[in-house]
Structure 1
């Protein structure tokens, strides 16, 4: 936790930077002098504008400090990022960051985040969720808009202001929900895909509202409606969206993978990484400028058309560091917009707004999903994820104010409600997690009641209403558990299954899990670092745990959880460096395989079978290569 003295020094530092940046050069000073902030060009001195650098440096610095403090207090780091934005905003003392620059940098985070999401979301996945996402999202937007509309009328606002206010409260933040799904390893689950599909429909509805709102301004202010221009606007907007999607699915599906494959064949990691960034940013920008589609939606479809390429996983890995960094700036930029005084000036109105978002929207979403015959667990998860508002709400509110439809205090209330709803969203997910665990425990008790002590295998469980969302624990005992079924784990799984060994696989990738199930494996979709997933794999009664994921430090968490549950379990891991080996052994791993070392040994074994010579005399016999006999100067 940050000490009080450290906090004071940080505030003094921010204030000093602000004072320095706000100071002006005296008209009598000697501009011919060389200074750190000036460059001589053509006989003139041109002052550098360091707004971008200062915003990035102080933005990331404060995000790190506040995020670390939030983590120490057992709060989500994004709470710290939001508070860092409040500290950088114009409504608090000290340095004031450039809001335009911060919002544009945050858009890069949104683009990379949605591009990465699209890489894990194929066209088949889109088709699979349409029957739930399309009617569900449309109903939810309509119902939440009505709740917001009613609240605005209670505030005494006009009809136009109430309509805009209702729309602002009906759309969730893409970034917040994506981060929540990623942090909980739900992206590859069926309910995670339904949530993403829901967001896509919300984005499309928002694009339509943004286009139609200026055309309807006169009507909302009490004027007459001109039907034909309105229909023309609607048709043009829908036509652009359809044209973009068709273009991406027909042409983009061929061109984008071809470009990425060319970059991969250059053998340069830098070129490949640049290709990934160029594709994501170019498609998103083109979608926005030419087709009127949001950056997020454009980047998502760029990822979708690339998802079926063999390079999609590598593309996701290359974009990950930048994606996470710029996503942090999104939360910082949100915090910068918040005027804390609105909580004092309009506390009741803000609380009503928060209630509509945090209570109203989840309840409406939950009832819609249950009516669509979705499971209890999936309904609760999606409802919890939608209990917040973000970037599209800000855009709608800003447009409403600029058109004279909504008062400025309405925009402040939406911003205040947004930051509160983002604060509270982890609590909604915690409630969902407790309920999900309760459902799983109840089902486990039902299964255990059917088990006799002498059985090696529990009788089959009758089909449940929600088989996908509340999985039944494995019935295997004295078995092997494999974590990760990628390039390494896939080979292990194939060999064990071929040998008839009892095996349970834990995998996060839905496609890999589906393929393993098709080959008869017992597979659980999720993150093995979660104790609940290890319990589903019955690691307590397992004989062997094979951790084949490449991230050794994440593997350490899995080792720790597994060792607590089964002290006698044989645990085998993989690593790349000596530090990782020590880390895994400290947590309780029995055997750690270093991939690079095994490669070196295999190559050395092969080299030992080939005769090489110490000189160029072909007539002399030479022994096989022995590295111990090679002089250091020859190596």
Structure 2
């Protein structure tokens, strides 16, 4: 019965949140507080389920990480300076308020971290995890997590063992992992392999007194690069979403704050825009465009779930007063509830603020990677999204001697195509500056093969609003998508699998007719 109450409450609160255009996770956060206020007994396995959800999330993220493009100069400068500035200011503030030097230092540094779970989930939901700003955000989050682990070890007095360097063994396990993946030809076996490896990485890391999350992430990176890892990530999607509900529910399990504690939490939330503004300034100083700096900063403008862990450790060690646990719990929950809807509409928000924010951009002697291309030469055809479908379309146009240019928001994908002598440049289809800077009057057709439906809709709308009269071809996966894309102005819409079936039938008939002619 108790399981039904908890799961049912999470569902209905998530449904209510989605009805008012908020992400369901906001409803899950509220469900935790509601159940706690009604004095329902929590599920004993809830924290463990939440831990599994986070491990699966970071494992799937690791599958998509390309280490060579992960660490960038702006990551170290932006992440490092932000941590120092926020931690220093927060430490002075908490020392003045609470007169706890060590506790204020721990709490100050904790509040400099951003939520890994929310940022990754938002980027993944928006299809931006592999984009330029997605990689920068992910790198900064990993940097913060590593520092958080060291801080937690200092707080509870539990130092990692010298054997922690054994984590470096994980990359050398890739040949074995690849063989297991090749042997797992059944879909259920691939799903089980993914879960097993994620949990194995977590257990191995915990054995070395390192966070299980880091072990799951490293295991995912180790397995990444295989042609079948995308299939594993797809199969783990719904499973990790289900387990992550427990993470958001358990945030509300702490004691409900008093009025004074709630006011303190609101004061901390009031400082959150300044933290986001600091990220924006630092990204601009690193040479990024205003749009990239804005969406990256918005993804990082939260308080981290690590603050819950470090605060609890500091309270247990007597470094902070007991009430700080309830304050930080409400503060983290509030920051997640605020940031989730803002990140969902980050590109729309930037469109409103663009005239103001672009004034802060710095002129660079050498163009940064996220800069809009100044020219596409004599190209008459554009392919937006250079995945499998986009690459096939590009090669087909090139085979007919058409002047074609490909665009992709993943810097690594761009580098791969450039190495194969293909005309592919960096470009994010949701960036209004991209379309405004292109000579659309010379373009005959645009092919949109982007995986996310809302991004295909946005690109189609922007092209037609700018007066583009050429052909727009795109893809759909569901019937309602097809109708909506046609309504927005797409010239034709195809289903990739249906088109593959048509081509297969044509090839079969051609082969059959040729064999008859040969007879």
Q: Compute the TM-score of the two structures, normalised by the length of structure 2.
A: 0.83
370-379 or 324-333, which deviates more: 370-379
Task: Please list, as runs of the form range in 1=range in 2, the aligned pairs for 1:594-613 lying within 5 A after superposition.
Answer: 594-595=498-499, 596-607=501-512
Task: Please list, as runs of the form range in 1=range in 2, the aligned pairs for 1:43-192 lying within 5 A after superposition.
Answer: 50-69=1-20, 71=21, 75-88=22-35, 90-91=36-37, 93=38, 96=40, 98=42, 100-126=44-70, 128-129=71-72, 131-134=73-76, 136-192=78-134
Corresponding residue of 1:354: 269
CA distance in 1, matches of 2:356, 2:376: 18
462-471 or 406-415, which deviates more: 462-471
The reply on whether 1:212 has 2:129 as its aligned counterpart is no
CA distance in 2, matches of 1:262, 1:402: 48
The reply on whether 1:485 has 2:371 as its aligned counterpart is no
How many angstroms does 1:138 deviate by? 4.5
How many angstroms does 1:378 deviate by? 5.1
In the superposition, relative to structure 1, how do residues 278 and 472 fare at CA in structure 2: closer, same or farther (>3 Å)?
same
How many angstroms does 1:393 deviate by? 0.7
How many angstroms does 1:580 deviate by? 5.8
CA distance in 2, matches of 1:57, 1:497: 54
Corresponding residue of 1:243: 166
In the superposition, relative to structure 1, how do residues 474 and 107 fare at CA in structure 2: closer, same or farther (>3 Å)?
farther
CA distance in 1, matches of 2:41, 2:509: 57
In the superposition, relative to structure 1, how do residues 385 and 575 fare at CA in structure 2: closer, same or farther (>3 Å)?
closer
How many angstroms does 1:529 deviate by? 5.7
The C-alpha deviation readout for 1:187-236, integer Å capped at 9, x for no partner, is 22344323222211221222122222233xxxxxxxxxxxxxxxxx75x4
User: Are the counterparts in 2 of residues 161 and 400 from structure 1 also a CA contact under 8 Å?
Assistant: yes
In the superposition, relative to structure 1, how do residues 592 and 440 fare at CA in structure 2: closer, same or farther (>3 Å)?
same
The C-alpha deviation readout for 1:429-459, integer Å capped at 9, x for no partner, is 5798359844897799xxxxxxxxxxxxxxx
CA distance in 2, matches of 1:573, 1:378: 25
Residue of structure 1 aligned with 2:205, choices 287, 294, 304: 287
How many angstroms does 1:121 deviate by? 1.4
User: Are the counterparts in 1 of residues 410 and 426 from structure 2 also a CA contact under 8 Å?
Assistant: no
In the superposition, relative to structure 1, how do residues 277 and 436 fare at CA in structure 2: closer, same or farther (>3 Å)?
farther
Residue of structure 2 aligned with 1:410, choices 324, 328, 339: 324
User: Are the counterparts in 1 of residues 290 and 360 from structure 2 also a CA contact under 8 Å?
Assistant: no
Corresponding residue of 1:616: none
CA distance in 1, matches of 2:512, 2:464: 40
Task: Please list, as runs of the form range in 1=range in 2, the aligned pairs for 1:213-362 lying within 5 A after superposition.
Answer: 213-215=155-157, 234=159, 236-237=160-161, 239-244=162-167, 246-250=168-172, 252-263=173-184, 266=185, 268-288=186-206, 290-337=207-254, 339=256, 341-342=257-258, 344-346=259-261, 348-359=263-274, 361-362=275-276
User: Are the counterparts in 1 of residues 127 and 451 from structure 2 also a CA contact under 8 Å?
Assistant: no
Task: Please list, as runs of the form range in 1=range in 2, the aligned pairs for 1:529-548 lying within 5 A after superposition.
Answer: 533-535=434-436, 537=438, 539=440, 542-548=443-449
User: Are the counterparts in 2 of residues 63 and 328 from structure 1 also a CA contact under 8 Å?
Assistant: no
CA distance in 1, matches of 2:490, 2:34: 44
Answer with 1 or 2: which has the greater Rg: 1
User: Are the counterparts in 1 of residues 405 and 423 from structure 2 also a CA contact under 8 Å?
Assistant: yes
CA distance in 1, matches of 2:68, 2:479: 42
Helix, strand or coil: the match of 2:446?
Answer: strand
CA distance in 2, matches of 1:366, 1:575: 35
CA distance in 2, matches of 1:67, 1:57: 15
How many angstroms does 1:175 deviate by? 0.9
How many angstroms does 1:490 deviate by? 1.0
How many angstroms does 1:317 deviate by? 2.2
User: Are the counterparts in 2 of residues 483 and 546 from structure 1 also a CA contact under 8 Å?
Assistant: yes
CA distance in 1, matches of 2:336, 2:492: 43
User: Are the counterparts in 2 of residues 284 and 299 from structure 1 also a CA contact under 8 Å?
Assistant: yes
User: Are the counterparts in 1 of residues 14 and 26 from structure 2 also a CA contact under 8 Å?
Assistant: no
User: Are the counterparts in 2 of residues 164 and 406 from structure 1 also a CA contact under 8 Å?
Assistant: no
How many angstroms does 1:569 deviate by? 2.4
CA distance in 1, matches of 2:336, 2:513: 62
Helix, strand or coil: the match of 2:55?
Answer: helix
Which one has more relative contact order, counting CA pairs under 8 Å at least 6 apart?
2
CA distance in 2, matches of 1:384, 1:155: 28
What is the number of residues matched between the two proteins? 510
Residue of structure 2 aligned with 1:591, choices 480, 489, 492: 492
CA distance in 2, matches of 1:180, 1:249: 28
Q: Which runs of 5+ in 2 are unaligned?
A: none
Helix, strand or coil: the match of 2:447?
Answer: strand
Helix, strand or coil: the match of 1:469?
Answer: coil
How many angstroms does 1:394 deviate by? 0.7
Task: Please list, as runs of the form range in 1=range in 2, the aligned pairs for 1:13-32 lying within 5 A after superposition.
Answer: none
How many angstroms does 1:552 deviate by? 6.7
User: Are the counterparts in 2 of residues 524 and 536 from structure 1 also a CA contact under 8 Å?
Assistant: no
How many angstroms does 1:507 deviate by? 2.5
Corresponding residue of 1:21: none
CA distance in 2, matches of 1:540, 1:81: 48
The C-alpha deviation readout for 1:495-542, integer Å capped at 9, x for no partner, is 43455423232324432222334424242333x366555445555653
Report the RMSD for the aligned CA atoms in angstroms: 3.8
CA distance in 2, matches of 1:372, 1:557: 28
